Amino acid sequence: MVKIAFLFPGQGAQYVGMGRDIYRKYKTGRRIFEEAQASLDFDLIKVCFEGPPEKLSRTDISQPAILTTSIALLRVFQELNPHISPEVLAGLSLGEYSALVASGSLDFKEAVKLVRKRGQFMEEASLRHPGKMLSIIGLAPEKIEEICKVSKTEIANLNCPGQIVVSGKEENIDLAAKLAREKEAKRAIILDVSGPFHSSFMEEAALSLKKELEKVDILPSKIAVVSNVGAVRETEPDKIKKNLVSQVIHSVKWQNSMELLINDGFKEFFEIGPGKVLRGLMRRIDASASVINIETEKDMLSL
């Protein structure tokens, strides 16, 4: 029997128009968007479907928007394909919240409000500690560790073989980019994000998020969720809460998480949500793994 995992994208996957087709055609999808809208203090539906892109890209707006789109797609997908069910779930950074909703651990409406606040906390921390993120492609991890030591930056994402993201102050990231090119990295790309995420600069955001999580009920997961921080399966509420706080200031170990599943015999993955980022990363992690994208009605009906 084929072992199936569902994967959920993180921030950066957003685009204007995401989820529009299932909102228009399926009551289940429409209900998810309407539940999210009722839980928020801005017009989520309008910004998802009409933009403008610069507003949708704001950290405090893109996070609830991506979560809502991912869960709307998940619910419609489950309705149309009840025979396809996962044995494990995982999500990249923000996507871990989508995975927890899918697992039954976190209530959707609570999750929407929580990631809205998470985005606000991260934005506020970025204003207090301005910084950037840099994607370094084509260098060994030990060389990037050397770069981080010299430039006083921190590893933020271990995405896939040959792609590591670092965070830091603007001038330190510029130095890291220069050092990466000197060490003959294939590419050193400054990312279009508003702050030095997944680093110690987000400490205040993590503390604020911890206080919010104390007010939220998290249930034992019906399906295990792979933690970004530890790259291990988790089902216990206390550990889940601890991981969500740690995730804000520690590296996202996506490559390690996927290798854990591949070593456990998973070969079929469904990326549920906007974009195809996780599929691209999986090609670099294990080209033999199958990743099916579920981001439109057409994707669901083609199965």
Cβ count near 97 (within 10 Å): 30
Per DSSP, the three-state class of 2 is coil
Q: Is 219 exposed, middle or buried (0-12, 13-18, 19+ CB in 10 A)?
A: middle
**DSSP string for residues in 272-286:** ESSSSHHHHHHHHH-
Could you say which of 198, 199, 208, 257 is catalytic?
Answer: 198
Could you say which of 93, 103, 105, 257 is catalytic?
Answer: 93
* Catalytic (active site) residue 194: no
The C-alpha atoms of residue 105 and residue 16 are separated, in whole angstroms, by 29
* Catalytic (active site) residue 198: yes
Cβ atoms of 111 and 35 within 8 Å: the answer is no
- Give the active site residues: 93, 198
